[in-house]
Structure 1
């Protein structure tokens, strides 16, 4: 009987290990898609939305490097390179816009973001279900109001001479401050609006994270004599820290996005010195003055800074042994 060639057997083994797994993967992938076809079908509207309204418009960012003329179109408009960026960075508006935007972003990051976590922790400590649901509903409702409604309520409450909060605060302090026109009150009002509208909605993610905390840890801590604050500090917060880090990294990408509608509705001629931010500047330069290429350059600068901040915050989180988003 002939002895089979060893090299032939090895080649056949290698071929089986390389070819068969690929076929198996194809079959398993096809079976997977057949099994979950309806779930993938549900993804189609979301994917189509991002492709049509998020990714395809990126082509229009090309006009930031051109002197865009609508009659010529994007491709035929003359190329000017980075001249719009140079004009923007050398403009006297740039330092003012950057300062106003960063101050509002830092106030939101330092005040509004932690309050979302605090609200979630307080809701998690409520044991009366009816009270908990009622408080949650009251916190969630403002999120569904448009910024137009929020701004209208603010004007009614702080209206000069007739606003109830105007009369209450000035009556208690003995002052006569026009809160809607005083530049020093613009940022506190913006932050208060943001807290009232978005804090409750932001607690949803943290409440979901709190639901995954191991209850046995609380029981062990109670046996050891730990108080409620100690349990929150040593068990709850460390357990939801990955979620906090991920949300913080995502928040960093929105540093320069202070929101157009809210700022625009609260801006007037008297507080414009502190109210002008990148979002409103893009609107005034692009829509009202027709400087499409210049406004696109400003918007592209915002987007690049946001991407850099996300990657930087994620890198810092990974360097400190925390969970990043990628």
Structure 2
């Protein structure tokens, strides 16, 4: 049964509004982190701190994640076509791949700089400026993190929420630069590159989490609790006697579902259709970010008739 459409216009408007909010969050984040990165890069240039360099590279990579996500949000607003019948929401998953690659590249660059400085120690100058830049990095990341998480939760974008949590982690790595500056101030020349290596490890931890989330999205994984909630909702729908398969997938920052419900074998086509529509309607109201559900009504097999016999060989 095709999804009912009495809320179609509202869904399209909501989708466009959520994408617009996501785009706004991305550009604000790009501006904030971009300014932070420029400030830190200037301090790196005249201080020679590789710990701050690692943090700067990480912040630059985090700022640049706005570009692929922005492209994905823009594509997600396009209407489905006969080739892309589900629309372009999965572009957000491809953006996730680009983001993971960018984070990986920043970790390699930060590690290389730290190892080189360990092999060839140098004094770090202008420690007060390094400390100030570290605090600026923390403040910039925390502000961006709060904004991304708030907007991500509002529009249901897992990618934007994950990006916000990533920015929050970056803020704490910025604070680690303070430890390097303190060690250098006490005369420990290796403090700065060692902190740079620790920041690289923190970046790798973020990389692992981001790669796991992107992998799960590419593999159509959803939170099992959503399936449990959907099954409970379907069973509570009047006329539903049982359930078959219940499947969900993310397309961008919206969910789609495919469900099989069992109805009375004596029900007419109109009655079965009504039950399926009621089930879909209940799901859309019960599951956050669910845009549409395809509900298939199966006759109750307890009468001994296999209503799927023609498909047995194909299954």
Q: What TM-score results when the alignment is normalised by the length of structure 1?
A: 0.25
- Computing the radius of gyration from Cα coordinates, the structure with the larger value is 1
Which structure has more strand as a fraction of its residues? 2
Q: What TM-score results when the alignment is normalised by the length of structure 2?
A: 0.26
